Amino acid sequence: MSPSGIHVNKSVVLLILAITVGIIVFNNYKYFSTFLMKKNTDVEMTKISQAVLDKAKTLDVETHKIKVKIKDGQSVEIVYRDILPKLGGRDILFLHGQAFSSEDWEKTNTLAIFSALGYQPVAVDLPEGKSTKSQKVDVGDRGLFLEKLITALDLRTPVIVSPSMSGSYSLPFLFMDPVNVSKRSAGFIPIAPVQTESYSQEKYKSLNIPTAIVYGENDKSIGPASTTNLKNLPDHELHMIKGAGHAAWKDKPEEFHLILYKFLLKKTK
């Protein structure tokens, strides 16, 4: 008996307490779930607004040509696309694969959308590929060529988006000076690039650049091997686009745009 003369059953008390807590949690579920989902930061919840998409529809992509010096004092004429006027945001350099060109970044509205978001997107026709409008010549060292092209375009530590064949340009460029890579590029978006097997695990681990590895769920060609190699980069995040193939950025452009946008918000200034 308790001092008051009433017998207290501890099991009953615990049961009542458990029920009470359960009712409180149930009634306040949305608040508890918000607290428990704290890891879902504002960046992770971000969507590209309809206002931005509407603005993108009003922007015109312009095509230009520029000459870039290559080996033996020669020059190559390069076609590129951008949107003017430039607003001063982060530069983004879009490369392309063997079957594509800068025009495909226009067709997917990528250039217009990221310009509407306040960035400075530039897409180039590399001197290789069946759809390129640039001069097709052997530029020699492709990493060095890309460095000269970035300088000619007056890009400031651009984020480099590199699908498939363009890996033969972007990877040599980034590995030219791993220690100072942050002064050369603010971020790297490889999409199943070629030539990833040319570098050792130790080499990858020395390249401390913010990276978003993107690959298509149905890519049975270069994607699996390149993804395995690129995961050795110390500062990487991994994005598989469901239902997409080797050209994941083109198969599912909306998903790719969101991946790139979130990456830019989180990893670049």
Sequence-distant (6+) residues with CB within 8 A of 249 are 108, 110, 161, 163, 191, 214, 256
**CA terminus-to-terminus distance, the chain:** 69
Which residue among the candidates 82, 104, 219, 251 is catalytic per the annotation? 219
List own/partner pairs for 155-158 with CB under 8 A and 24 or more apart. Answer: 155/91, 155/93, 155/120, 155/122, 156/91, 157/91, 157/182, 157/183, 157/184, 157/185, 157/186, 158/90, 158/91, 158/92, 158/93, 158/122, 158/185, 158/186
Residue 164 falls in the annotated catalytic set: yes
Which residue among the candidates 115, 164, 168, 185 is catalytic per the annotation? 164
> What's the rounded Cα separation, in Å, for the pair 238 and 71?
37
Instruction: Give me the residue label for tokens 């603005």.
Output: 55
Residue 219 falls in the annotated catalytic set: yes
Residue 141 falls in the annotated catalytic set: no
**Taking Cα atoms as reference points, which of 100, 135, 53 lies closest to residue 248?**
100
Query: Radius of gyration (Cα) for the chain, nearest Å?
Result: 25
Residues annotated as part of the active site: 164, 219, 246
